[in-house]
Amino acid sequence: MKVLVKAPAKINLSLDVLYKRPDGFHEVEMIMTTIDLADRVELTLLEENKIHILSHNRYVPDDQRNLAYQAAKLLKDRFNIEKGVEIIIEKTIPVAAGLAGGSSDAAATLRGLNKLWDLGLTMDELAEMGSEIGSDVSFCVYGGTALAKGRGEIITELPAPPTCWVILAKPFIGVSTAEVYRRLELEKMDHPNIKEMAGAIKNNDYQSVCNNVGNVLEEVTLNLHPEVAQIKDQMKRFGADAVLMSGSGPTVFGIVQHDSRMHRIYNGLRGFCDQVFAVRMLGERHTLD
């Protein structure tokens, strides 16, 4: 028996960090949306009681460090599953890029194993378990568009943003999320207005979405890696309506509504960056099937 699951990337339209909590985590408020750039996770039932991970990407661990492995292990231990699984991950989402690739693979594994091992869990139960693996996993279980609070695990669904193109450009660098958080001086930063962004999405107001993109982590990463600022400038010059870094970076995204502008930005950045994609936002939440 085999189950195929799509694991889409996310971008943060808005990301704010409020304070550092006594438990060491940061209290955040983020508006995230899934995009049509996805890994493919293939789960095959094994009679043998083991979890086997396969990925042909040299940056992706093929042992217990892989978040998909951790998702399978969590379900296995919690529900005393005696069977095993082979997890093949075909990566399309750039690794360590601020696009939650690992979290999405873990979420896809939770959704897929719910089916393969016939667990009968609800989306809320899967999202709850996801929060034990990583802060972005709960959102990735549901997909769609949402406001995320707490460590990122308290999810409120939002409607799909206005239809537009998202052009993603990843420079030839990796960013350490831990270092970005370490260097964050919250009182000195510009904080985005999350309420305005949520309102813009609810009103399907494209201009207001563009006016309200913001990421409190951006300034830190831009100071560490000037090439991220260069890509932002180029995207603006090629005509993007809004430009922002996703998560802790280094991927930058621009949004536009017109096809011709999307092509201009895409072609302008190709060759200059490590990877460039032009994709749609995914409006719909995942469902249990």
Q: Does 8 participate in binding ligand ATP (rule CB under 6 A)?
A: no
CA distances from 192 to 152, 195, 214 (A): 16, 9, 5
Mark 135-174 with x for binding to ligand ATP (rule: CB under 6 A) and - for no binding. -x--------------------------------------
User: Which class for 100: exposed (0-12), middle (13-18), buried (19 or more C-beta within 10 A)?
Assistant: buried
Q: Does 71 participate in binding ligand ATP (rule CB under 6 A)?
A: no
Q: Does 177 participate in binding ligand ATP (rule CB under 6 A)?
A: yes
Q: Does 61 participate in binding ligand ATP (rule CB under 6 A)?
A: yes
Closest approach of ligand ATP to the CB of residue 147, in Å: 17
Q: Does 276 participate in binding ligand ATP (rule CB under 6 A)?
A: no
Cα–Cα dist 30/39, whole Å: 23
Closest approach of ligand ATP to the CB of residue 93, in Å: 6
Q: Which residue number, 241 or 282, has a Cβ lying nearer to ligand ATP?
A: 282
Cα–Cα dist 70/109, whole Å: 9
Q: Which residues of 8-38 are buried (b: 16+ CB within 10 A; e: fewer)?
A: bbbbbbbbbbeeeeeeeebebbbbbbbbebb
Q: Does 101 participate in binding ligand ATP (rule CB under 6 A)?
A: yes
Residues 246 to 275: which contact ligand ATP by CB under 6 A?
247-248
Q: Are 43 and 87 in contact (CB under 8 A)?
A: yes
# residues near ligand ATP by CB under 6 A: 22
User: Is the bond into 250 cis (omega within 30 degrees of 0)?
Assistant: yes
Closest approach of ligand ATP to the CB of residue 174, in Å: 7
Q: Are 148 and 154 in contact (CB under 8 A)?
A: yes
Residues that bind ligand ATP (CB under 6 A): 59-61, 65-68, 89, 95-103, 105, 136, 177, 247-248
